[in-house]
Amino acid sequence: MTTGPTSGGRRSRTGTPPGDAPRRTSPAPHGRRPREKAAGGESLVGSEWTVEVGPIAHGGHCVARHEGQVLFVRHALPGETVVARVTEGRVGDRFVRADAVSVLSASPERVTPPCPYAAPGLCGGCDFQHVSLPYQRQLKASVVREQFSRLAGLDVDPAVRAVPGDTDGLRWRTRVEFAVDQDGRAGLRAHRSRAIIPVDDCLIATHGVIDSGVLDTEWTGVESVDVVDAAHPEEPVLVPVPGPEGSDGSGGLVGELVTDGDWSGEYVVAARGFWQVHPGAASTFLSRVTALLGAEPGDRVLDLYAGSGLFTVRLGELVAPGGFVLGVEGDARAVDNGTRNTEHLDNVEWRANRVDREVRSLVDQQITADLVVLDPPRTGAGKDVMALVAALGPRRVVYVACDPAALARDVRAASEHGYRLASLEAWDAFPMTHHVESIAVLEPASE
């Protein structure tokens, strides 16, 4: 495959706090500051209403109504009757946000949250600690179904599968960003807030993260601390982040180990660069992507949003001899690491470029690809990229997504250019949170 010129870049992928999906790009650390309206109706914050809770919605909350007002309620479950206290919203808003502060009629799937900080007004990282683990996965599956029905016009019914490597949904997060308060104490942010909640443990973080001492250390002059519990080095890496102008954001390099059946590979990645945070996720997704893609010797493969080469390395070996893999990634530092990870393969090429620009260059040169892998940011690839991918004429596209809404929109966009959804599976790479990983296979509709 001959490729076009390089230029530009894409947002760096960094580690994120517990509960926020780590994939592709990072949200503000552990929640966002609630938006303030310059004008509007009377504030409803603090109002308490007794409501019957409706279905789960995308985002970790359930939908309820009170006298015509729509509420997005956290810490609730479908079918419950709760007292909901408004946390954001004004009279006349299309919806308000609320917490279930009292449960009058509980769901049989409700459990006591294992973490004392998983409660209204406290840590915003986990959405579902009050939910039995099997039912968490049922809720996530219902969200995937609803998003595909509403946004793609498709009926899907994927069971959300467990990713091996956690302990009953806990102790799985290998990368955590802790915020630091004015006293130099590391903690976690409240939901949709900059407020920092002091904690003495985080139950979804690995033991290595907590045993690093991050919560027992006084951090002076920094706004956050990233803790990275990678395969190498043996001790977790702590990266103080003094501020946007005080750090290059990388935190140095760490090593990760990945398997695909009998195959194993070692990867070098930036400590604060993108990598799957669940210890079983990278291997699980690599195995699924290679199985679903069906790469063969001689195939020309395009790996888009390739990061540091999780898929690129394995694909380079699978298509040899005679095949070729092009990895495209907007983060130049990730491309440097990807180049290092694939230096033993002479059939792999890298481009540090925005995906849309690079693929457009390929299309303009009338270059085609046999197979395409997409692993985009949470916002998805977008309709322009999906149109360009279709123009390459691949026999199969495997799309890895951390947001079912973005995936559904992109599947719909692909259908407008002759590609159909051939299969869809979902994985619980973020237990106790609302996030769900999906892997979709797209094929030409004519086939």
Return the structure tokens found at 44: 């409803």
Residue 235 in marked binding region: no
Residue 117 in marked binding region: no
Neighbouring CB atoms inside 10 A of 127's CB total: 23
Neighbouring CB atoms inside 10 A of 230's CB total: 22
* 179: nearest Cα among 334, 397, 19: 19
Strand 371-374, strand 396-401: pairing: parallel
Please state, in angstroms and rounded to a whole number, the distance separating the CA atoms of residues 401 and 440.
Answer: 8
Residue 305 in marked binding region: yes
Catalytic residue among 62, 115, 123, 402: 402
Q: Is 53 helix (H, G, I), strand (E, B) or coil?
A: strand
Return the structure tokens found at 333: 């530092």
- What residue type is assigned to position 181 of the chain? D
- Reply yes or no on whether 62 is catalytic: no
Q: Is 357 helix (H, G, I), strand (E, B) or coil?
A: helix
CB contact at 8 A, 99 and 107:
no
- Give all strands (DSSP E) within 277-347, no chain letters: 300-304, 324-329
Return the structure tokens found at 101: 């502060």
DSSP states of 184-212? SBEEEEBTTS--EEE-S--TTB-HHHHHT
Return the structure tokens found at 87: 């946390």
The residues, any chain, with a CB within 8 Å of residue 28's CB and separated by 6 or more, are none
Phi, psi for residue 206 in degrees, rounded to 5: -65, 160
Question: In three state form, how does the secondary structure of 211-241 look?
Answer: HCCHHHCECCCCCEEEEECCCECCCCEEEEE
CB contact at 8 A, 87 and 32:
no
DSSP letter, residue 36 = P
Residue 375 in marked binding region: yes
DSSP states of 368-436? --SEEEE---TT-S-HHHHHHHHHT--SEEEEEES-HHHHHHHHHHHHTTTEEEEEEEEEESSTTSS--
Q: Is 356 helix (H, G, I), strand (E, B) or coil?
A: helix
Residue stretches of the annotated binding site for S-adenosyl-L-methionine = 276, 305, 329, 375
Return the active site residues.
Answer: 402
Residue stretches of the annotated binding site = 276, 305, 329, 375
